[in-house]
Structure 1
Amino acid sequence: MAVDYAVRDGIAVITLDNPPVNGLGHSTRLGIVEGIERARGDASVSAVVITGAGRAFSGGADITEFNTPKATQEPTLHTVIKAVEGSAKPVVAAIHSVAMGGGLELALGAHFRVAAPGAQIALPEVKLGILPGAGGTQRLPRAVGLETALNMIVSGAPVLSEKLAGTALFDRMAEGDLLDDAVAFAKQVGAQDGPHPKVRDSTIKHPNAEGFIQFARNSVATIAKDFPAPHKCIDAIEAGVKNGFERGLAFERECFLALVQTPESRALRHAFFGERAAGKIADVPSSTPVRTIARVGVIGAGMMGGGIAMNFVNAGLPVTLLETKQDALERGVATIRKNFEAQVKKGKLTTEKVEERMALLKPTLAYDDLAEADLIIEAVFEELGVKEQVFRKIDEVAKPGAILASNTSTLDLNAIAAFTKRPEDVVGMHFFSPANVMKLLEVVRGEKTAKDVLATVMQVAKKIKKTAVVSGVCDGFIGNRMIEQYVRQALFMLDEGALPAQIDRAIEKFGFAMGPFRMSDLAGNDIGWAIRKRRYQEQPELHYSRIADRLCEAGRFGQKTGGGWYDYKAGERNALPSKLVDDMIVAHSKELGVERRKISDDEIVERLVFSLVNEGAKILDEGIASKASDIDMVYLTGYGFPLYRGGPMLYADTVGLYNVERAMRKYAARPNGDAWAPARRVTELASQGKGFTS
């Protein structure tokens, strides 16, 4: 049963019991209404308490019912709240741990609320591109005041119950056992005559409501210009202020139904479910035993290795940090301390916390000091010979059962695993720079990687707050394999008539955090150069523009050398268009015999994004990624793809694969068209009228 009903000392106790967070699925909603009816018909019951079992009052909607008929089957949440609010016997919500979304809206429908300290209170629907759809925009401002409610609804951020203790949201803060306090309080209010208070009957008080709403509207226009939901939240709240509860509630419903249909909401919901789906691996059940990870070793104290180490000490795990030279080790440790101290200056960490974390870090020059580590991650130079030396040494010193991980971004993990006598213990853990900031972790599954190793690493990823996506073994895995085709198209367009600033500007206007040339200058143009040199040897038939090689031959590796595709002033990161580079590009086109043409921003965006889509489809065809949403999570969390577009694969579905395939065939017929043969999955899905994420 999703709801438990019991009578305690003359008080009906309705307990939501739908793990993990007591989602308000159909059976739960039905159980609440039946419980209210049962209490109404029992003369021995004077009041009702609604609470939640386990670790939540209620986290809101049951996500397992999204996009199913049960989500809208009666009784809907509106019907449930109406039953609670209309109960002749007073209803007390006993709130603990989590009251979010529909869970908070349910509590707002009760006549009284008792809260435990430390409960997280939120209406987070805006994060899914929608707004609270069961009266949240109307009742919360009446309970906590206009400013507090608007800030909570527009941000979706949780607020601790103690901070709301002085508002009308809570009638009492529990001092002892929550349920004991709630039952005692219910007995008091159950003995009182007269109508029971309803939040809906309160007025929204503010000395200058119109002025504050306009201020909020101006702020949202700046920080959420690409997302319609925050604007609609303000509209719905304003409707309640100006027109009263009933008309405000009707307008809220209109806004909710409109927002659900927007591409932005579709994208945010896709990302929400995609993040959860990424952790599920078809042949590795959730019951798979995991290995204990109590100590971590990191090899390499450079920017990447230091960032990786920070993740683990942040999570309270001791880290042994290995370098081969004392000066490099000292420099790496100093950088880690500097990064922590920067967080102190921003108010994100205390000095005491910094010292606690630094105490977890053990610098060393000796491989033998890794002997007790349960997980060892190498973060050394991206060259197979270097990786071989490191893994042969790790294999000698690591204890049996230790997981050996490589941070390689492109190299063959199976070859790396073969350098050891225990390939089943080897896995890829590809962090993204800066590793202590970026959310993405590509977990690379080798041919012989054991299932318990994979399950353990996915669990570790959660502990260090990363979004982990599993990839099979191929050159570049998911993210870098796709980005190579994206950059390849950008370079072709330089040959054909565009310049770096135009290409970057067009894709950044589309929503990317950074265009391909600013990105390359930041990462270092020599990295791409090394990959291309390898391609020329291994795949001589592959067609590349040579303009990027010219740039590197001129020593322009990007920000670190003061010049790349752009010029940079000393100590600054602003990308300044370079006449020298623009002239180099024009001259290169002339050498190729190419008559430069005007390339539209629309073409730039299509070629860049659809190159990602086509390579992503090939990755799905080959089984490197198991689902389209995994590819989207890689690009949303690691490559700056605009969140409100949902990732390259969902964006292709939004455009329609019929149109995507037509564009690919158009570009295939042009110069530099050899990269544009549509992947098998693109052609098949387009012919069936389906999408990658259908």
Structure 2
Amino acid sequence: MAQAEGEALIRCSDAGPGGEVLLLQLDAAPLNALTHPMRLALSRALSAAAAAKRPVVLSGGARLFSAATLIDHGAQLSEGSPSLADLCLQIETHPAPVVAALAGRALGPGAELALAAHARILGPRARFAFPEAGLGLPPMAGASQRLPRLVGAGAALDMLISAHVVSAREALAIGLADQLSENDLHEDALAFALAMAGPRPVAARRDGFADGRAYVAALAAARSAQTQSPLLAPRRIIECLEAALLLPPENGYAMERSAWEDLAAGAESRALLAAARAERAAAQLPAELLVAEPQEVAVLGLYGTSPQLAALALLALGRGMSVVWSDPDPQAQGSSLAWLRERIAEGHDAGGLGPQERAEDLLRLQAPAAPEALTAAEIVVHARPGPMSTTLSRADPDQLQLVIGGAGAAHPGLVLAPSGRLAEMGPIRAARQQQIVTAARMLGRFGLAPVLTGGAVGLGRRVWSQGHQALIALVTLGVAPEAITAALSRYGAPAPDLPQLVLEGAAPRAMAESEILARWLGAMANEGYALADSGAALRPSDIDAILIQGYGFPRAQGGPMHQALERGALVLRADLTRWQHEDRIWAPHPILDHLVSEGRSAF
């Protein structure tokens, strides 16, 4: 059964003039994930080819090679036999040439598979990337040993630590690719395999070691750059690249495997994976909205005065949209318009905008405008709810009315996070499906990650405020603000603005750093559970995505809801119950009782 299932994930065919080459094509849309069934099928096909000493061409089809990461398929990419490392070693030791033909993306495990081949032929749209460091992990299948042998330490560190995406032409320039194919990728890969005199394992290559001084200098520079970083994965990756220069390949592979197992079991990797999955989930529209076709937004309307309206105007103008801005307070609007024109001028002075682009931006700005001019806009954003939103929506029911900072009785709200990287919009039931997907697409076009809510917007502000109020409560209870600031700083969080209270005749209250953090995180998680229980947050992980991207919560900690899951609802409720007599900020929400009674920590 397993064999049949695995074999259905690949296509095997005889290729070449005499059918002497085995063409193995990954066929598991949409990402060609290297799951255990896929690896098993590839391993069996390679074993059969090895027995006949047949050359092999590995391909992912016409669009991509293999683009699934641990974010997508998790344990399926790291568990079961053969492991990905075993499969890559099997490719590397194949008794005849193995050529990887890449038409599109090779990410993470897919890039490792291609790297294990004896040669790589790339189409013009091929891309290589190793995103593991961003998940708190080194490579899992030998890339830390193979990659520097081909491209040297500098380029390898850039790819493995910075997750630099390498294009086809760059791959050829640095030695990662052997040939670019401008015509038929499979035909070119077959010809290359037949022209090879024999296997050429990457483990036997030393191209990247040619300049030993440069290699060692790149390692030293990378170590220096990581001195202040709290992340563990970059340090272990540097150690693995050093082992590639100094140790036999099999020892280097063992060192990488040990590093991967250590870090995969650690809290940092779990938190980074949770953060990545939270952001991905928050970015996905609910299933019921996927059927709606977004409308193109050519004109953005703004009504009233708010710093967020000015920011939206700047974003819209920078994306080639027209902006119509009406305000009943001409003096307030004058200040906002002056700010907007200064930002456009700054773009010109910094070289980002030429005189013509600056003039075009200003021509697309209609302000001050009469309220009636707003009817030309597909979306109107109000600084505050009021009669104007009702009047406009009656005049044009297709027009979406958003209210900055909160929703009115009949219209969804919109709020930009302090970072300028994320926007909350909701409740989604307050507008039609097409309107919601249209607004979400517009926000994405602005470079703002849109997070939809089931209730009033401002989830991040509410949760972050609860955390801040908990810190103020600690100061009131006698904990020194300096101790609180130091604890959050070591955690990676931004320094809080805390009051300096004078305690007459009393010494500051001693509190362990772990308890300071637990009380801060507990207050935020408690509020997050309340928002999820009410339906205001579509899922608890959305809270983490909002706080990480929008409020400076340290990504390597995963978010307060992830931390609550790590501790468990039982422990969280017990902590809150113990602290609530000191301040009601820690009064546990009733949903925690329900979760504990059912033995769960997640919804």
TM superposition score category, shorter chain reference: 0.7 to 0.9
Aligned to 1:219: 225
- Give the secondary-structure state (helix, strand or coil) at the position aligned to 2:11: strand
Deviation string 1:64-100 (CA, Å, 9 cap, x unpaired) is: 43245x7523343223323433334422222233222
Question: Quick check: 1:414–1:446 contact (8 Å CA) kept in 2?
Answer: no
Please provide the CA RMSD for this pair. 3.3
| Distance in structure 2 (CA, Å) of the matches to 1:191 and 1:261 | 44
Q: Does residue 462 of structure 1 match 2:444?
A: yes
Counterpart residue type for residue 439 of structure 1: R
Counterpart residue type for residue 447 of structure 2: K
Aligned to 1:20: 30
Deviation at 1:680, TM superposition (A): 2.4
| Distance in structure 1 (CA, Å) of the matches to 2:340 and 2:127 | 32
Counterpart residue type for residue 287 of structure 1: V
Change beyond 3 A, Cα 1:181–1:689: closer
Change beyond 3 A, Cα 1:441–1:97: same
Change beyond 3 A, Cα 1:322–1:679: same
Change beyond 3 A, Cα 1:276–1:304: same
Which segment drifts farther, 30-39 or 483-492? Answer: 30-39
Aligned to 1:681: 591
Q: Does residue 629 of structure 1 match 2:541?
A: yes
| Distance in structure 1 (CA, Å) of the matches to 2:10 and 2:50 | 17
Q: Does residue 207 of structure 1 match 2:212?
A: yes
Deviation string 1:112-150 (CA, Å, 9 cap, x unpaired) is: 112234533221110111111111111110111111111
| Distance in structure 2 (CA, Å) of the matches to 1:287 and 1:64 | 23
Deviation at 1:683, TM superposition (A): 3.5
Aligned to 1:150: 157
Question: Quick check: 2:381–2:403 contact (8 Å CA) kept in 1?
Answer: yes
Change beyond 3 A, Cα 1:196–1:609: same
Change beyond 3 A, Cα 1:604–1:301: same
- Give the secondary-structure state (helix, strand or coil) at the position aligned to 1:145: helix
Change beyond 3 A, Cα 1:154–1:352: farther
| Distance in structure 2 (CA, Å) of the matches to 1:105 and 1:171 | 16
Map 1:502-521 → 2, pairs under 5 A:
502-517=483-498
Deviation at 1:268, TM superposition (A): 0.7
Deviation at 1:210, TM superposition (A): 3.7
Deviation string 1:655-684 (CA, Å, 9 cap, x unpaired) is: 4444333321222223xx233221223334
Q: Does residue 284 of structure 1 match 2:266?
A: no
- Give the secondary-structure state (helix, strand or coil) at the position aligned to 2:412: strand
Question: Quick check: 2:62–2:103 contact (8 Å CA) kept in 1?
Answer: no
Aligned to 1:480: 461
Aligned to 2:253: 249
Deviation at 1:169, TM superposition (A): 1.4
| Distance in structure 2 (CA, Å) of the matches to 1:119 and 1:355 | 38
| Distance in structure 2 (CA, Å) of the matches to 1:113 and 1:207 | 25
Question: Quick check: 1:92–1:182 contact (8 Å CA) kept in 2?
Answer: no
Q: Aligned pairs, how many?
A: 589
Change beyond 3 A, Cα 1:64–1:493: closer
The percent identity for this pair of structures is: 25
- Give the secondary-structure state (helix, strand or coil) at the position aligned to 1:87: coil
| Distance in structure 2 (CA, Å) of the matches to 1:356 and 1:49 | 52
Question: Quick check: 1:496–1:596 contact (8 Å CA) kept in 2?
Answer: no
Question: Quick check: 1:445–1:454 contact (8 Å CA) kept in 2?
Answer: no
| Distance in structure 2 (CA, Å) of the matches to 1:183 and 1:349 | 45
Change beyond 3 A, Cα 1:505–1:37: closer
Change beyond 3 A, Cα 1:506–1:212: same
| Distance in structure 2 (CA, Å) of the matches to 1:301 and 1:42 | 75
Deviation at 1:646, TM superposition (A): 0.7
Map 1:500-579 → 2, pairs under 5 A:
500=481, 502-517=483-498
Change beyond 3 A, Cα 1:105–1:478: same
Give the structure-2-normalised TM-score.
Answer: 0.87
Change beyond 3 A, Cα 1:625–1:163: same
Q: Does residue 52 of structure 1 match 2:52?
A: no
Give the structure-1-normalised TM-score.
Answer: 0.76
Aligned to 1:72: 79
Aligned to 2:4: none
Change beyond 3 A, Cα 1:331–1:31: farther
| Distance in structure 1 (CA, Å) of the matches to 2:469 and 2:358 | 43
Aligned to 2:179: 172
Change beyond 3 A, Cα 1:499–1:250: closer
For structure 2, the residue ranges without an aligned partner over 5 or more in a row are 1-7
